[in-house]
Amino acid sequence: ILGAGMDHYVAKPIRRNELIRTVEDAARSCSAASAEARSGSQDAPGLSFDRAALLANIDRDEVLARELLDVFRGAYPDLLNALREAMENEDQKETARLAHRIKGMACNFFAGPVCDVAMELEAKGRSGDLQGGNVLHAKLVAEMARLSADLEVCLGEEGLR
């Protein structure tokens, strides 16, 4: 199975520590691949997401692009507010869960900078140590605003650009 292209495998019965280790290894692999793709991107300098990868992933489907953008527009402000509240309440589990959701949403757009910061916050939540999380949250808010603006320009009402 691994020779056919699958990256990781966890045999049954599933053992908690083995599953966690495998998922973490896969996440590191994805993060490294994402960083490598960003460094080789043909997009405009400073763009907060890999436009070429996104458009290829959705087969340049303008309807799907707008749907993804609409979901992003509707969800990200509430997610950021909920994340801030979870951190203020020192709720590590909720911090990790919300950071994971933000990371997943951003990865739909191949938005490496957002994914990277969200991954750091998720790790902090999972570790139970939210020290320094406020700085990461502020960085995440800034990166999400940048992503939103870039998406509006590239995927907005006038279609794919």
pTM for the full predicted model: 0.70
Cβ-based neighbours of 152, under 8 Å, separated by 6 or more:
69
pLDDT tens string 70-81? 898 899 999 999
Of 158, 148, 81, the residue nearest 114 (C-alpha): 148
Q: Give the span between the Cα atoms of 5 and 73, in whole angstroms.
A: 35
Residue 8 pLDDT class (50, 70, 90 cuts): low
pLDDT tens string 14-37? 778 887 887 777 666 555 544 544
pLDDT tens string 41-67? 444 557 898 888 888 888 888 888 888
